[in-house]
Amino acid sequence: MTRRQPARARKERVTPRRPPVSTGSAARPSGFLQSFPVKSVFCFLAGLGLAVTGHRAGAAPAPVWSDEFNQPVGSAPDPAKWAYDLGGSGWGNRELEVYTDSRDNSRVVADPEATDGRALAIRAVRTAGGGYTSARLKTLGLFTLTGGRIEARIKLPRGQGIWPAFWLLGCDVDHVGWPACGEIDIMELLGSRPGTIYGTLHGPGYSGAHPLQRSFTLPDGAVFAAGYHVFALDWAPDRIIWSVDGHVYQVRTPADLPAGARWVFRDRPFYLLLNLAVGGNWPRDPDSTTEFPQTLYVDYVRVFAPAPKP
């Protein structure tokens, strides 16, 4: 396992995530001061809402939030559910892509392999000038959660320098910084190792060179680009479980933390992200073997409420 590499890549990942030019609350410095209280209140209310809906007696096990990505082909991701991170600052990892809100980089497409025939496609494109564009979607300001089951059915891209991710970030990242805000990576893949995915926790005292991380590799040389797989996180206040297609490959509790470190995944709101990066400290840059465009297909994302307390 190359744990030092991803750790180093992630060490600076979050704090510089703001694009150099962006909109609304992402602008600094005034945007930071003005937007944080709004985001915080929203995160609190959204988290509270999830907690409330999760304890309805006798409720059927339906998602409390989901996107089936079954809008008309060509549609943008639902703006009521997803916002964009925009720009190309490298995101603290020396990534090469510029994130856009263009339909070139994110749209609903027809896919017979999707459960409902349609999926979100996040596409990394090489531009005529030799750069790359892609997309990074987030639910910040629209939906947050403090636990439960999160799952997504995803068909992954491949190739040297290709780095897709489905993950969670603490809503207070702008206030407390990273890694104090906490980061839960439900699934990351390096396109140079297309049969292996990673699940990771980053927090204060266990990021940088020492995140909590395990990988899962498909048997018999199979690759994640060959079809859809379900990546899930079962998140209780003091236990986080990662699985692929129902196979659990990692369980983490506060007992796994380094001495004196703080578990930052209890009763704090997080938001979802889906992105497709190109290059960066961990995957390294694309090379002559990398084919573009590369596409991350998402059939659905579903969030289920935490199990009621006995």
Active site residues: 183, 188
Residues 62, 66, 70: CA angle, nearest 5 degrees: 115
CB of 199 within 8 A of CB of 187? Answer: yes
- Closer to Ca ion at the Cβ: 114 or 122? 114
* Residue 151 near Ca ion by CB under 5 A: no
Least gap, CB of 116 to Ca ion (angstroms):
4
Of 15-74, binders to Ca ion (CB under 5 A) are 68-70
- Closer to Ca ion at the Cβ: 64 or 121? 121
- Closer to Ca ion at the Cβ: 111 or 172? 111
Mark 277-306 with x for binding to Ca ion (rule: CB under 5 A) and - for no binding.
Answer: ----------------------xx------
Is residue 199 helix, strand or coil? strand
* Total number of residues that touch Ca ion (CB under 5 A): 8
Residues paired with residue 258 on neighbouring β-strands, in sequence order: none
Q: Residue ranges of the alpha helices (H) in the chain? A: 4-11, 30-53, 173-176
Residues 167, 169, 171: CA angle, nearest 5 degrees: 145
Is residue 9 helix, strand or coil? helix
Least gap, CB of 296 to Ca ion (angstroms):
14
Mark 90-129 with x for binding to Ca ion (rule: CB under 5 A) and - for no binding.
Answer: ------------------------x-x-x-----------
CB of 302 within 8 A of CB of 152? Answer: yes
Least gap, CB of 232 to Ca ion (angstroms):
16
Least gap, CB of 151 to Ca ion (angstroms):
13
- Closer to Ca ion at the Cβ: 183 or 299? 299
- Closer to Ca ion at the Cβ: 29 or 112? 112
Residues 6 or more apart from 196 whose CB is under 8 A from it? 189, 190, 215, 216, 217, 218
Calpha distance 252→235 (Å, rounded): 10
Token pair listed for 240: 């986080």
Least gap, CB of 256 to Ca ion (angstroms):
35
Task: Using CB atoms within 10 Å of the CB of residue 157, give its burial: 0 to 12 exposed, 13 to 18 middle, 19+ buried.
Answer: buried
Interacting residue ranges for Ca ion, rule: CB under 5 A? 68-70, 114, 116, 118, 299-300
